[in-house]
Amino acid sequence: MKTLFVIVTALAVTGCASVIGTKLQPISVQTVQDGNEVAGAACTLTNDAGKWFVTSPGSVTVNKSTGDLAVECKKDQTFVGHEMVVSKANGSVWGNIILGGGIGYIVDRNTGAGFDYPNSITVFLKRMGDAIGLAPTTAQPQAQ
């Protein structure tokens, strides 16, 4: 009887992420260039569930997904940065796999509720030419 109580309690507590969790996640974004925080960069966050905009430093709420989150930031058409953030399974989805089997996992995977991104993302900015592989130009002396 005690074993049955433990199993029922474990199932009730873990539940599937799409029931007890949320499909949304707030994420804070900051931008850094040469070790200094840079304010006012325009950032776009994109995954297979949508696109969101934030000015750094700032926070935005995104739809969770199993897909990675691309973060692109620009500052004054001079600095750019890009980070790819991996979506990872959270504890609720592992509870589903262990206790509930495949159905709960499939629901969590399809809604994204069983997956999380890091709560904070730092994007490292580079000068536009450096970011695309162009060396700075220097004036060449003219032959006389």
pLDDT at position 101: 58
- In the chain, what are the domains? 13-125 (2.60.40.1120)
Answer yes or no: pTM beyond 0.75.
Answer: no
pLDDT at position 68: 94
* pLDDT mean over 10-27: 60
Strands, sheet with 79-85, edge to edge from the N-terminal-most edge strand: 50-55, 42-47, 69-75, 79-85, 126-127
pLDDT in tens, 26-64: 999 999 999 999 999 999 999 999 999 999 999 999 999
Structure tokens at 112: 């994204």
